[in-house]
A = this chain, B = another copy of it.
Amino acid sequence: MRLKEIRKSKGISQLKLAMDLNTNQNTISRYETGEREPGINELIKIADYFNVSIDYLLERTENPNIQK
């Protein structure tokens, strides 16, 4: 997951992200450390929040944007 990198590039804290996504700070932390995995719905929420493709979020491509 490229989550930490993306989040930091936007300059927001785990807590703010968590609140915006209706979840907890520790949940975000776990995603970032890789201790837990988000389900598909959470994955989509995160990708939409940052406006990046899921493939980018999961480090499967270099290009952040979603193709039309």
A40 to B43, CA, bound (A): 9
With A40-B37, A43-B40 as contacts: A58 and B67 at CB distance below 8 Å = no
Identical chains in the assembly: 2
Known: A53-B53, A67-B63, A67-B67. A58 touches B37 (CB 8 A): no
Q: What are the residues of chain B within 8 A of A58 when measuring CB–CB?
A: 40, 44, 54
Inside 8 A of A63's CB, which chain B residues have their CB?
67-68
Q: Which of A40, A43, A44, A62 has the most CB of B within 10 A?
A: A40
A-B pairs, top 7 by smallest CB distance, nearest first, are A63-B67, A54-B54, A53-B55, A54-B55, A37-B40, A61-B67, A61-B66
